[in-house]
Every structure is written in C-alpha cells, then in structure tokens.
Amino acid sequence: MDFNKDTAKKTAELLLQIKAIKLNPQTPFTWASGWKSPIYCDNRITLSYPTVRNFLKEEIAKLVEEKHGKPDVIAGVATGAIAIGILVAQELGVPFVYVRPEPKKHGRQNQIEGHLESGQNVVVIEDLISTGKSSLNAVKALKEAHANVKGMIAIFSYGFEIATDNFKNDNVELTTLSNYEYLLEQALDSKYITSEELLTLEDWRVEPSKWKQNEK
C-alpha cells in the first residue's frame, strides 16, 4: 500500500495529540479479544475535535476519489465509522448508508440502513482495521445486496499480517491514512515514546496474540 508520508505522519500526530491513540508500553491495555497491547485506539474521539475531524474528512474524501473515482454511495461500518462516513459522503456530495454487524432482529430486519440500489458503486469507510473481520463482514453484506464495492478507506490500521491476508483473500482493496509504522515513527519524533519503548512497541507487533500473555 502506498502512503503519502506527510499525511500519514500528520494523521498519527493528531491522533496522539487528542489521545485517540494511547501508547502505554509499561502498563498494557487488555483488548476485548483478551490480547495484551501497549496501544489502544478509539478514533471516535476525533469527532469531538472539529479541526481533526475536518482534516480526516477532507483527506479520506481525497483518497476515495484518487483511488476509486467518485462513488455512487459511501457506506460506513457501524458503529465506529458511521459519523466519519457521513462527513465524507457530505464532502463528496453523495448518498450515505451504513452497515450493521448483523441484520436487526425486528422491524424490517435490515443490515444495511439507507437507500442502496443494485449495481451502485460503493466505497466503504472504516475507522480502524485490526484483523479486518468485521470490516469485511460489511463488504460481504453490501455485495449480497448487489452493490459494486470499489474498496475500503480507513483512518488507521495496526498492519497485522492476518488483516492483509483477509483483505487479499476477499479481493478487497484497503487504503488507510496512516498505520502502525508511521505512528511509531511520529511518536518517537515527537517524544511521545523513548527509543526503549519503541523496541517494546515493535516487539508487540511480531506476535500480538501471544505478547505478555503469561504475565499477570
């Protein structure tokens, strides 16, 4: 994946500044999956900062058009990417839909909320890519609705090998504004972390599912 280095580093810097991304190598976070992690990312925090959300909106909209042309529809992945997806759709002047993890249990039992016609070109917006499983689940729902999914744009990716494999296997093009490598580079440059902490953060990425699992 090709990155605009300036955009990737600025994105990382903004996420660090507002603490949408927190780095804590000494006292790791525990993810819902049970993984121990020195990093925690919650990009929904960006919505509370107009300057940051406008930057993300404009950069994602530019990427959408550069990579895929102007789509018929923007689709956000619920729930984290609904708001940023709406902002991008507004910037591009196109309709918006969002995709639930599964169909509703009542009412019309929709999984896709909004108006989507068969054959329309859709670009999917996501806030964060870890394994890619939930993101690709949304793509599957859109394809089952006969949408032409052009690709996916996300704010940030941990860059896990399993995610790369999952997107490749599903033949979905993924582009992100920034990723883990640029985050670490920016964090070191801006003195959010030390050289020693950088080594810990790099070590985590080698085998994140097993990192510090035997420590209490």
- The answer to whether 100 is annotated as binding is yes
- Does the annotation list 143 as a binding residue? no
Q: Is 127 annotated as a binding residue?
A: yes
Is 178 annotated in a binding site? The answer is: no
User: Is cis: bond before 51, omega within 30 of 0?
Assistant: no
93 carries a ligand binding annotation: no
Annotation-wise, does 146 bind a ligand? no
Q: Phi-psi bin for 79: left (phi > 0), alpha (psi -120 to 50), beta? A: alpha
Contact assessment for residue 36 and residue 26, using Cβ atoms and an 8 Å cutoff: no
Q: Cα separations (Å) of 171 from 79, 111, 152, 165?
A: 24, 22, 11, 10
Please tell me whether 104 is known to bind a ligand. Answer: yes
Check whether 134 is labelled as a binding-site residue.
yes
Annotated binding residue at 210? no
List the structure tokens of 79. Answer: 């729930």
* 126 annotated as ligand-binding: yes
Write out the binding residues for 5-phospho-alpha-D-ribose 1-diphosphate: 100, 104, 106, 126-134
| Residues tagged in the binding site annotation for orotate | 130
Binding-site members are 100, 104, 106, 126-134
